[in-house]
Amino acid sequence: MTAPPPPFNRHLLRRKEEKITLAVLIHYTFYFSFVFAVLIGRLVFEKHQHLHFCNDLQKSLLIPVYCIWLVAEMTRLYVGMKGVLRDKLPEMSAFFLLSFFPQVWTVIYLGFLQEIIFPFDRVLGAIMLLGLCWSWCSRGDSCVPSLQGNLRNFIEI
């Protein structure tokens, strides 16, 4: 006698389908973040070296804010992709928290609050903010079912 096939788990299939949107988002965000880092980074360093700031605090904040954004973005994309691929809730939570705390505020500063703002700064900042908002809107689709599945597995044990 052969063993019966394992039952079809609709919950796992639904969770995989919900992760596709977030995986695509992280994939394209990686490419746009690279473009954003190169273009805004070049503008930041050019502003810092060649332009005159009326406020020295603005000049001293420009490069550290960019570096904070850069490190947080690399970390955010790494834990986001790791969380999506391995279906890990802690990494997904870290992705969403990093999407909000340092990223939103540094992008707002780099795109809209600098003393010297070029139109290109505003365009790139707005597109980056839309990507961050999109990641926040997709969190309900991907994180809540994962949490429900983990709680269901915990209760069954």
Please tell me the distance from the alpha carbon of residue 21 to that of residue 34, in angstroms, as a whole number.
Answer: 20
**Does 4 fall in a domain?**
no
**Does 24 fall in a domain?**
yes
The structure tokens listed for 117 are 């703002």
**Does 8 fall in a domain?**
no
**Does 7 fall in a domain?**
no
Q: What is the pLDDT of residue 134?
A: 85
Domain that holds residue 63: 13-156
Number of structural domains in the chain: 1
Return all residues near 36 (Cβ < 8 A) that are at least 6 apart. 124, 127, 128
Please tell me the distance from the alpha carbon of residue 36 to that of residue 98, in angstroms, as a whole number.
Answer: 17
Q: What is the pLDDT of residue 72?
A: 96
**Does 99 fall in a domain?**
yes
Q: What is the pLDDT of residue 145?
A: 55
**Does 55 fall in a domain?**
yes
Note down pLDDT in tens along the chain; length 157 residues: 666 656 655 555 556 666 787 888 888 999 999 999 999 999 999 999 999 999 999 999 999 999 999 999 999 999 999 988 887 888 888 888 898 889 999 999 999 999 999 999 999 999 999 988 888 887 655 555 555 555 566 566 5
66 CB burial (10 A radius; 0-12, 13-18, 19+): buried
